[in-house]
């Protein structure tokens, strides 16, 4: 199949231009800036709004809207007073592998920053979702996810204290929780996972370091061990401008 204008498979059909050919002015500017970005190295600043508006013969607000969309799509990012070229998105596999493994596969350095580690009685909603016993002690581990020191997500893990009684003293919050479970002889069996798009709450946006308007990918996961016993409930929030997810399907 031939693709219009040498369009690559996976790109928007006709580059997103409707059949009648009329497109908003900002979108045409966005396409030109996108081409410009494609020829620049990661971290390289793009020209100022004033320079771009003069180069393309449009108002600065038109350029501003085009740049804003490219930032939301993860092709550009703000750096101080400048707008620079962002790196490629991190690809996280949809499988029972840890965040650490997924980031390392792409040559990046994973990390985590502890936000909270609390212990409380299992509430009704968590018990109903996971199969834990209502009122039994559970841990809540909340951490900011890092890639090369860049904040890219926020993860909340709920696990029974009976499974990991020394989590508060024997676990390094900057390390992989999955690797810690393996050290304890606990193996993952299966999991149910659900993905949705959301906007971060003001608290989440502050922890991750993004504007609240940046789209987020939210993953809910309930995991069980090889014997079918409840293991963990995870809520992972990833920056939509810095992450994509991959999986392999079989018929």
* pLDDT at res. 1: 36
pLDDT(46) > 60: yes
pLDDT(116) > 80: yes
Contact present, 217 and 243 (Cβ < 8 Å) = yes
Determine the longest span between alpha carbons in the chain, in angstroms: 66
**pTM above the 0.85 mark?**
no
What number is the average pLDDT over the span 191-218? Answer: 83
* pLDDT at res. 76: 86
Provide the pLDDT confidence category of residue 19 given band limits of 50, 70 and 90: low
Residue 221 CB neighbours (<10 A): 17
- Torsion 168-176-230-227 (CA) sign: negative
Q: Which residue has the higher pLDDT, 19 or 86?
A: 86
- On the CB side of 126, CA atoms within 13 Å amount to 24
Provide, for the chain, the percentages of residues in helix, strand and coil under a 3-state DSSP scheme, each rounded to the nearest 5: 30, 35, 35
pLDDT(224) > 60: yes
Assign 178 to helix, strand or coil. Answer: helix
What number is the average pLDDT over the span 94-107? Answer: 65
Structure letter (DSSP) for residue 122? P
Token couple for 40: 């620049």
């Amino acid at each position: 199949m031939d693709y219009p204008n040498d369009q690559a498979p996976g790109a928007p059909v006709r580059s997103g231009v409707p059949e009648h050919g009329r497109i908003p002015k900002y979108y045409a500017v966005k396409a030109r800036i996108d081409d410009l970005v494609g020829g620049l190295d990661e971290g390289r600043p793009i020209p100022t709004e004033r320079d771009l508006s003069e180069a393309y013969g449009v108002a600065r607000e038109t350029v501003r809207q085009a740049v804003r969309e490219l930032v939301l799509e993860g092709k550009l990012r703000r750096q101080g007073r400048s707008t620079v070229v962002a790196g490629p998105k991190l690809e996280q596999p949809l499988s029972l592998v840890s965040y650490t493994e997924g980031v390392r596969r792409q040559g990046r350095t994973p990390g985590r920053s502890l936000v909270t580690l609390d212990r409380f009685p299992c509430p009704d909603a968590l018990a109903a979702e996971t199969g834990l016993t209502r009122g039994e002690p559970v841990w809540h581990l909340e951490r900011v996810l890092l890639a090369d020191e860049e904040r890219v997500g926020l993860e909340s893990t709920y696990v029974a204290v009976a499974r990991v009684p020394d989590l508060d003293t024997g676990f390094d919050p900057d390390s992989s929780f999955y690797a810690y479970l393996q050290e304890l002889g606990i193996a993952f069996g299966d999991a149910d996972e659900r993905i949705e798009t959301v906007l971060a709450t003001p608290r989440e946006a502050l922890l991750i370091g993004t504007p609240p308007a940046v789209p987020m990918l939210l993953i809910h996961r309930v995991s069980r061990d090889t014997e079918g016993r409840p293991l963990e409930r995870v809520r992972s929030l990833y920056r939509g401008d810095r992450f994509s997810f991959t999986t392999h399907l079989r018929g």
